[in-house]
Structure 1
Amino acid sequence: MDQRSAFNSRQTDSRRAFLKTASAAVAGSFFAPAILGAEDKAGSKPPVLGEGAFQYEAIHNWGDIPKHIQWGETHGVCVDSAGLIYIKHRSKTKTPMDAIVVFDPAGKFVRSFGKEYHGGGHGIDVRKEGSDEFLYLSDTKHGVVAKTSLTGEVVWTIGRPAAPEHYKDTKQRYSPTNIAFAPDGGFYVGDGYGSHFIHKYTKEGKPEFYWGGSGTEPGKMKTPHGMWLDVRDGTPKIAVCDRANHRLQYFSLDGKHLGFVNTVSFPADIDIQGDIMVVSDLHARVTLFDKQNKVITHLGYDQDWTNKVLDGFKVRTQPETWQAGRFVHPHDACFDQEGNLFVTEWVSVGRVSKLKKLS
């Protein structure tokens, strides 16, 4: 079952619950920040999202896409130390297409690669190891994670785990969605579209341990979709987007449950810069959290728009209906060195937005 089928099948009940409670929750605890510049009816000025010290100019359809690339669902984004932006997308074309497209900070095309990940493009993160940087890739179609150079040369590829009991049944799908980095040089892999387990590997790619599985109780997950190492309070821990359970779930480095953050709707992925955590939420918003995981602001949030987006998920295939300053299905978001945000969306024709920090 592909991502769209899995997404829709899991969302029938959760969407109803969300639509019933979201308005009350927002009214009680948060507020929908105004989109500044909305009075610019000619559309000549990009809308401004956020408030106070967190205001961003929203530049949709960012990046000079080359002719040989036809955006599919834009799933992942990361930024290297030189400021280059890497976008990973899932094209539906019959002919294999480069799944990774690289732009400079001005949006100019630099290079593309990764035909071997065609149709499975999902998670992408960059890590500095010594003087070199590497990409860590998750492929949901081919069931692999890979470590490559910044230009795509493969260091290693890891497929379906061999040892755990939950993979002895050949019918059990293995479909890794994202990776988080461990302080010891190892990494964690979330089997978000498969068994709902998280696997810990050494820096050499050797399996160490795993935890999780499907469920709603503490320590269990339904679609551990995105993850990040959170060290903001001085104690390293793993924050997991427990997506279909509508929560973030925190774990110790050895997989022990620590707690929940429930002020999310349908969290897809995480990035942290300094004390600020950004969560891309598939329910049409991007949320910033402070060091205590209190909501700072929901970027692009509007309840009426969210209701429209979640009504049968038709909007994701109707770009003519998209509104400036609103998101459809944010799938990933990350900071660059200047505090700008890049947002990729799970929409049929792909969309990358740059949120240029103004304050």
Structure 2
Amino acid sequence: MQKNELVIGHNNFKYRVKKDWAEFTPEQYPVNDCHEMVMSKNGLLYLLTNETRNNVLVYSKDGIVKASWGKTYPGAHGLTLSDENGEEFLYITDTVRHQVIKTNLEGKELMILDYPQEISLYTSANEYKPTETAIASNGDIYVTDGYGLQFVIQYDARGNYIRHWGGKGDGIDQFNCVHGITVDNRNAEPSLLITSRNHNVLKRFSMSGEYLNTISLPGSFNCRPVINGKNVYSAVFRSEHNKNLRSGYITIIDENDRVVSSPGGTEPVYINSVLQPQKQEGSTFIHPHDVCVDKDENLYIPQWDSDKTYPLMLERI
């Protein structure tokens, strides 16, 4: 380890911070808010930014831009990678276009989901601002309307409406900023892990929308859950309170729903099995918005409203 390298994290999840990992080329490949990042089977990293000169930057693992595409996603926010019968696709949520767009890895648009007119509470597209998608093994598409009416909407693989649930509220099956979603296949029965960001929790639902349980993460305004192996990773874009600007860290949750490490944040402490409130420690991050995990368990972190910074890397020790 070099003398000035910063190490962050707790327990067996510690990382060297590589702030200069990505190629900095704002003249050729500008970014605005760097929202989310995924890795394809061939090891390439796909970064989504709401900069319409190149909405998607494709990186190698050593941080070199290999390709770029996309000029029509002004509200580019959520990016999900789906393996469908051996072929990979991307799902982009756009909060300005009020749409979900399915593309191939080269950016060709294959399907567009408009606002859910099947739900009578939506009277116009402006009320629909989708933030994330998750794709089930049968092809069903789950969309979180995180900046709109706060519903989770389920479609089949062809984009036909199936059902919706949630909505804004403080009930156990409701949300306050239903920002992120993922399919959890770690157990015999798959389920959905869904963010209620302003409640500082992840909520678990069945694949048909039945509430199951809540993971409390006090102090952590989580963006979306990302599952790798036995663990859940999530970017905490703000900590302590929702007006705490330029804060945030990463949180890692084990298979028992316990936080085991918070790189860039305070150490997770449980008293009588209750996680104590956490907050940022140090200044590694400015509004981290997502976590991408590679096969070596290194982390790649895009950041929102961070002075147009490029993603940083956390190298697993």
1:300 and 2:264 aligned: yes
Matches within 5 A, 1:261-272: 261-264=215-218, 265-272=220-227
For 2:309 and 2:135, how far apart are their aligned partners in 1?
Answer: 27
Match in the other structure for 1:342: 300
1:329 and 2:293 aligned: no
Deviation for aligned residue 1:350: 3.1
Deviation for aligned residue 1:177: 0.2
Match in the other structure for 1:311: none
Match in the other structure for 2:185: 231
CA contact (8 A) 2:10 2:263 kept: no
1:68 and 2:28 aligned: yes
For 2:125 and 2:34, how far apart are their aligned partners in 1?
Answer: 28
Match in the other structure for 2:270: none
* Structure 2: 5+ residue stretches without partners: 239-247, 268-277
- Count matched residues: 295
Match in the other structure for 1:14: none
Deviation for aligned residue 1:274: 1.1
Q: Deviations over 1:24-60 (max 9, x none)?
A: xxxxxxxxxxxxx8xx8xxx53211224432211111
For 1:151 and 1:275, how far apart are their aligned partners in 2?
Answer: 31
Match in the other structure for 1:148: 103
CA contact (8 A) 2:34 2:50 kept: yes
2:86 to 131, 134, 140: 131
Question: Relative to structure 2, which stretch is displaced further, 230-239 or 288-297?
Answer: 230-239
For 1:214 and 1:350, how far apart are their aligned partners in 2?
Answer: 32
For 2:315 and 2:266, how far apart are their aligned partners in 1?
Answer: 20
SS at match of 2:172: coil
1:147 maps to amino acid = K
For 1:101 and 1:123, how far apart are their aligned partners in 2?
Answer: 14
* Structure 1: 5+ residue stretches without partners: 1-36, 309-321
For 1:61 and 1:196, how far apart are their aligned partners in 2?
Answer: 36
For 1:344 and 1:292, how far apart are their aligned partners in 2?
Answer: 27
1:354 and 2:308 aligned: no
Q: Deviations over 1:309-348 (max 9, x none)?
A: xxxxxxxxxxxxx94xx21211111211221111111123
Match in the other structure for 1:54: 13
Matches within 5 A, 1:12-91: 45-66=4-25, 67-91=27-51
RMSD across aligned positions (CA): 2.0
Identity across the alignment (%): 27
1:83 maps to amino acid = G
Say which structure is richer in helix. 1
> Normalising by structure 1, what TM-score?
0.78
Structure 1 stretches of at least 4 aligned residues deviating more than 3 Å after TM superposition: 305-308
For 1:307 and 1:271, how far apart are their aligned partners in 2?
Answer: 20
Q: Deviations over 1:282-311 (max 9, x none)?
A: 1211011110110111111159x9579xxx
1:208 maps to amino acid = I
For 1:246 and 1:51, how far apart are their aligned partners in 2?
Answer: 21
Distance 1:257 1:84, change over 3 A: same
For 1:281 and 1:307, how far apart are their aligned partners in 2?
Answer: 9
For 1:52 and 1:281, how far apart are their aligned partners in 2?
Answer: 19
Matches within 5 A, 1:187-226: 187-226=141-180
> Normalising by structure 2, what TM-score?
0.88
1:99 and 2:63 aligned: no
